[in-house]
Structure 1
Amino acid sequence: MTQDLDDNYKIAYDNKAGFGTSPALVMVDFAQGYFDPDCVLYAGVDDALASALRVREAAHEAGIPVILTEVSYQKGGRDGGRFFEKAKPLSCFVKGEKTAEFAEGLVPRDDEIIVTKQYPSAFFGTSLASTLTAMGVDSVILTGLTTSGCVRASCVDSMSHGFTTSVVADACGDRHPAPHEANLFDMNAKYADVVSEAEIIAYLHALKTGQSRG
């Protein structure tokens, strides 16, 4: 059955978008709550963060923009709308909660942009698309949490805003492998190229080398 599904998708969706020439790295919602065993959001995604930090370092070495997203709500979640009403764990992102802070090891740098959001996509209701366009960005590299939620939503919106999109599989995580793998599979089929950490770092290294030669 799995082989039949793979064959079916290859016939319909076997296509690579490739990498752009002027990318930006977007790190979606690496919040402390996902790493706190006492938090309802806990997902055991340390490997994803470690991978994302390596990609981040390569991005800075290549001189491309790095954007961190965070989720933040007023007390009571009045600015969270129906999303806050439906998804109760979002209370972990109310301002002042330690679980809403960036994960240990991810300290924002002065040259990084922080985008604050209330909904799944990094683009919805934020200035991210216009900021990337103003910087001349043509493509987005996505890492983050969770694969089936905010990463997927950001992926679809990235593509919809006209950015060639790559999702780094190793640098994304979810609380269960099934939604993680299913959403990587579907994003790769329709919206983005799902790539490995090694592939994206090799691309960033080549980008850096090309810039230095130029």
Structure 2
Amino acid sequence: MTDAAENYAGVYDRSVGFGARPALLLIDFAHAYYDESCPLFAGEGAVTALAAALKLRAAARAAGIPVILTRVGLHPSGIDAGRFYEKAAPLEAFLPGRATAEFAGGLVPEADELVISKQYPSAFFGTSLASTLTAMGCDSVILTGLTTSGCVRASCVDAMSHGFRTLVVREACGDRHAGPHEANLFDMNAKYADVIDMDACLAEFAKLGGGVSVSA
């Protein structure tokens, strides 16, 4: 039996590349994923993803690239998350007043950074994100966040579906288990986006910023 890479070779191996005007998305870096008492706790994968995303954010800001953060914000009943709330019990971590719903330590939105509040996995579903990116003149999105198999993947598919060149930074995404993390990176890279490493992303930011760089 061939392995996945060999099986997909020559079938799903195109690259979309970077756009001329990207935006950097930090998806759902919430305290829930860092609290060991929370069912959503994602361990070391969440820690390393946030560290990488913060470095990318600094580089993006230095290069004048828009930074957009997402958070999950629910009605006290969870009704605005519909069947998603019904299916995924840990979403209770995002009810109003829960400390687990706040941004993770070290991530404080800057005054010029857009914060998108969402109720479903995708950063695009039921939000103004697509029209805002279009109004800003952005032709591409670079995705980081939690979790790889959940909200990152959902946002990836919708970004592509809305016509944006879509890139996912491997080191800046995390999940509670390596299996779903790697499988979804593989699948996104095959069908919806370019999965890139952090060095390639930082180099592109430096180029777009006229040589300004932030070390990885």
Check whether TM > 0.5: yes
TM-score range, shorter chain: over 0.9
Q: Aligned-pair distance for 1:210?
A: 6.5
Query: 1:143, 1:5 → 2: CA distance?
Result: 24
State the AA in 2 paired with 1:69. T
Q: Aligned-pair distance for 1:10?
A: 1.5
Q: Which runs of 4+ in 1 moved over 6 A?
A: none
C-alpha distance after superposition, 1:148-204 (max 9, x if no partner): 000000000000000000000100000000000000000000000000111101110
State the AA in 2 paired with 1:177. A
Residue matched to 1:27: 26
Q: Aligned-pair distance for 1:209?
A: 1.2
Task: Give unpaired runs (5+ residues) of structure 2.
Answer: none
Residue matched to 1:111: 112
State the AA in 2 paired with 1:50. A
Residue matched to 1:7: 6
Query: 2:3, 2:108 → 1: CA distance?
Result: 45
Q: Aligned-pair distance for 1:54?
A: 0.3
Query: 2:38, 2:202 → 1: CA distance?
Result: 32
Residue matched to 1:79: 80
Q: TM-score, normalised by structure 2?
A: 0.95
Is residue 2:39 matched to residue 1:55? Answer: no
Question: How many residue pairs were aligned?
Answer: 210
The structure whose residues are more often helix, as a share, is 1
State the AA in 1 paired with 2:32. G
Q: Aligned-pair distance for 1:79?
A: 1.2
Residue matched to 1:175: 176
**What pairs with 1:188-199 in structure 2 (closer than 5 Å)?**
188-199=189-200
**What pairs with 1:138-157 in structure 2 (closer than 5 Å)?**
138-157=139-158
- % identity of equivalent residues: 64
